[in-house]
Structure 1
Amino acid sequence: MTDPTSPQRRSYGSLRKDRIDQLATAGTVTEEPGVSLIRSAWHRLRRNPVFLIGAGITLLFVVLAAIAPWVAPWDVTATPLLDKVRPQSNPVPGPEAGHLLGADDRGRDLFSRLLVGSRQTLVVGVVATLFGLLGGLTLGTVAGAIGGWVDSLVMRIVDVMLSIPSLLLAFTVASLARNPSQWTLVIAIAIIQVPIFARLLRGSMLAQRGSDHVLAARSLGVRPGAIVFRHMLPNSLGPVIVQATLSLAVAIIDAAALSFLGLGNPDQRQPEWGQMLGRAQPFITEAPHLAFYPAGCIIVVALGFTLMGESLREALDPKSRR
C-alpha cells in the first residue's frame, strides 16, 4: 500500500486541491452596479427608431407652438389678401410671394394661422390631460387605498362613464355651455379622461397592496397614510404616466373634433386647427387645401405622441422588453 504521507500522495493531493480551486474561481461573476428601471428604459428608448421619430415630431410641435407668435410672418387677424378675394371666381387666394400657403376666404395668411393655431391645440391638449390626470389620480387613489364599499362606489361611477362613447360624452358636456370657449374644450376632454386614469391607477394600487414592501411597512407599524403616499402611490404611477402620453394624442383629436362641430372657441382671432378645419368645409371643392393642411397637422402631431407613448410603454413594461 502507498503511504499517505509519501511525497507522491502529497503531490496528488496538492494537484487535486489546485484543480478544485481553479474550477471554483472559473465561474466567478464580476459584480456590477444595478441599473434603475428609468435608466434601463432610456437605454432601450434611445436605440428605438419609433421612439426617436415620435419624440422628434413632438419636440418640433412643442417648439413651434412656443415660438409661433414671433415666427409667424403675418398677424392672424390681418387681411393682406382681402382685395384678391372674389366670391364667384376666386373665393380663396392661392400661394404667392410672401404667402407660402395662400390665404383663407377672408384674406388672412393661412401659414401664419396654422403656426399660431398649434399653440391653441397644444394648450387645450396638455391642460385637459393634466386636469383628467389629477381627477383620475384622486379617484384611483381613494378607490385603491381604501377599498371596500368606497372602491365599489367609485368604480361603478367610472364604469358608467366608460360605458358612454368618449366623443359622445365630450359632445354632451361641451353642449351644456351657454357660451362655448377654449375652457369648454378643456373641461369636456378632461372629464372623459378621468375614468381612464382612475381605473388604471386603481388596478396598479391594488397590485401594490399585496407587495412585500407594503406588508413589511404594515408589520413595522407605519401609518396607513404614509404607506399609501410613500410606498403604494409612487410605485403605481409608471403606467399612468405612460397613459398620459398616449392620452395627449387623443385629447388633440377630440379637441379638433369638438371645434369642428362648433363647440370650441368661436373667436377667430385665436385660430385652432379644428376650428380651421370646420371653416374649410364650404370650400372643400374649390380649395381642398384649406382642410388638408390643418387635418394633416392634427394627424402628424397625434401620430408623434402615439409613437412616443407606445415606445415608452414597451420600454417600461418588463413583459415587452426585447
Structure 2
Amino acid sequence: MSLPTPANRRKERVDALAATAATGPGGALLEAGSVDEKPGVSLIASAWRRLRRDPVFLLGAAITLVFVVLALVSPLIAPHDPGANLLIDKVRPQTNPVPGPEPGFPLGADDVGRDLLSRLLVGSQQTLVVGVFATLFGLTGGLTLGILAGAFGGWVDSLVMRVVDVLLSIPSLLLAFSIAAIASRPSQLTVIIAVAAVQVPVFARLLRGSMLAQRHSDHVLAARALGVTRRAVVFRHMVPNSLAPVIVQSTLVLAVSIIDAAALSFLGLGNPNDRQPEWGQMLGRAQTYIYDSPHLAVYPALCIIVVALGFTLMGESLREALDPKSRR
C-alpha cells in the first residue's frame, strides 16, 4: 500500500471543502450554481440594526430626547415665572447678593431674585429654537450652493467653491461674531443668521462632493442615455442619493450651532431682553459673581456641554452606521 503523496492530500482537502460548500443549512444539498438566498437589507435597516445596539448612540439619543422634551414643555413645568423678581427682597448687595436655595427655589435665585431653575428650563427652549433654525437656514443655503456646484460644474462650480473657500478660511466664531456685530440692534434673529452663515459652506462643500460622486454612477449615466432632462437627473437621482451624509452632518452641526449661539449671547450679541432667558446669556451675566456664586455659571455651562455632547454622540454614531467603510 503506497503512502499518500502531498498532491493526494491537497486533492482530498479540496474535495472535502467542495463537499462542505455544496451543503446548505441542516446538511441539505444545493444544486450546482445555486446560492442560499436570504432577503436583502436596505442601508437604513442595516444602520438601524447597528444603532440600536450601540450604547454611544443610545446615550446621545437619550440626552437629545430629554432636551427636546424639556424645551417643549418648559413653560408648563417651570415652577415660577422666569422674569419675576420673586426673591428681590432677599438680595443684599453687600452680604447676600445672590439668594441661595430655599423651599420652592431648589437652585436659588440670581442677583435680581429670579428663580434659577425656571430660567434654566425656559432657557432650554430659546437654545433649541436658535440651534434648530440656525441649522435649517444653514442647511437651506448649503443645499442651494451645493446643488448649483454639483449639478452644473464648470465655471459655476468654480465660482461657488471659491466663495465657499473664502468663508471656510475665516474662523467660524470670528465670522459669526462679525456678522452679528453688523446688526444695528442685537436680537435672537441676528444670532440665528450669524450662526447659519457659518454652516452654509460646510453643507455646500459636503453636498457638492457627494453629487460629484453620483455624477458618474451607473443610474445617472443610464438616465442620461435615455434622454432624461438635466433637472430630472439632478432632483430625482443625484440629490436624493447624496443627502445621507448631509443629514448626518446636520446632527453634528446642531451641537456646533448651540455652542456658537451661546458664545454670541455670552458676548452680548444675543437677545438683550434678559426676561427671556437663554443659557449663553445667563452664563455671561454670571461672570460678575463667578467667585462668590460660581453656581450661576456652572448650571448653564453644564446644560450647554451635556446637550452639545448628546447631539455629537448621536451624529458620530449615525455617520459610522451609514458609512460602508466603517462596517465590520
Does residue 235 (structure 1) correspond to residue 274 (structure 2)? The answer is no
Does residue 291 (structure 1) correspond to residue 297 (structure 2)? The answer is yes
| Offset of residue 25 of structure 1 | 3.5
Q: For residue 226 of structure 2, what is the aligned residue in structure 1? A: 220
Give the 3-state SS of the residue equivalent to 2:271 in structure 1: coil
State how far apart, in whole Å, the 2-side matches of 1:121 and 1:180 are. 16
CA RMSD across the alignment: 1.5
Give the 3-state SS of the residue equivalent to 2:104 in structure 1: coil
Q: Output the amino acid matched with 1:133.
A: L
Q: TM-score, normalised by structure 1?
A: 0.92
Give the 3-state SS of the residue equivalent to 1:87 in structure 2: coil
Does residue 149 (structure 1) correspond to residue 155 (structure 2)? The answer is yes
Which one of the candidate residues 204, 228, 233 is aligned to 1:198? 204
| Offset of residue 107 of structure 1 | 0.2
Q: Output the amino acid matched with 2:178.
A: T
From the superposition, tell whether residues 170 and 226 of structure 1 become closer, same or farther in structure 2 (CA, over 3 Å). same
Q: TM-score, normalised by structure 2?
A: 0.91
**What are the Cα deviations for residues 265-296 of structure 1, in whole angstroms up to 9, with x where unaligned?**
01011100000000000000110000000000
Does residue 57 (structure 1) correspond to residue 57 (structure 2)? The answer is no
From the superposition, tell whether residues 24 and 34 of structure 1 become closer, same or farther in structure 2 (CA, over 3 Å). closer
**What are the Cα deviations for residues 13-33 of structure 1, in whole angstroms up to 9, with x where unaligned?**
xxxxxx999865499533122
Does residue 177 (structure 1) correspond to residue 183 (structure 2)? The answer is yes
**What are the Cα deviations for residues 109-162 of structure 1, in whole angstroms up to 9, with x where unaligned?**
000000000000000000000000000000000000000000000000000000
Which one of the candidate residues 121, 126, 135 is aligned to 1:120? 126
Does residue 68 (structure 1) correspond to residue 74 (structure 2)? The answer is yes
State how far apart, in whole Å, the 2-side matches of 1:38 and 1:319 are. 15
Q: Output the amino acid matched with 2:114.
A: R
Q: Output the amino acid matched with 1:199.
A: R
Give the 3-state SS of the residue equivalent to 1:150 in structure 2: helix
Which 4+ stretches in 1 moved above 6 angstroms? Answer: 19-23
Question: Is there any run of 5+ residues in structure 2 with no aligned partner, and where?
Answer: 1-18
Q: What is the correspondence of 1:1-322 to structure 2 with a 5 Å cutoff?
A: 25=31, 29-322=35-328
Q: Output the amino acid matched with 1:302.
A: A
| Offset of residue 78 of structure 1 | 1.1
State how far apart, in whole Å, the 1-side matches of 2:125 and 2:77 are. 12
State how far apart, in whole Å, the 2-side matches of 1:25 and 1:215 are. 37
| Offset of residue 80 of structure 1 | 1.4
Q: Output the amino acid matched with 1:180.
A: P
Q: Output the amino acid matched with 1:71.
A: I
| Offset of residue 321 of structure 1 | 1.3
Q: Output the amino acid matched with 1:102.
A: G
Q: Output the amino acid matched with 1:34.
A: G
Q: Output the amino acid matched with 1:222.
A: V
Question: Is there any run of 5+ residues in structure 1 with no aligned partner, and where?
Answer: 1-18
The structure with the largest alpha-carbon Rg is 1
Q: Output the amino acid matched with 1:65.
A: A
| Paired-residue identity, % | 76
Q: Output the amino acid matched with 1:36.
A: S
Q: Output the amino acid matched with 1:122.
A: L
Give the 3-state SS of the residue equivalent to 2:304 in structure 1: helix
Q: Output the amino acid matched with 1:285.
A: Y
State how far apart, in whole Å, the 2-side matches of 1:175 and 1:77 are. 26
**What are the Cα deviations for residues 179-238 of structure 1, in whole angstroms up to 9, with x where unaligned?**
100001100000000000000000000000000000000011111100000000000000
Count of paired positions:
304
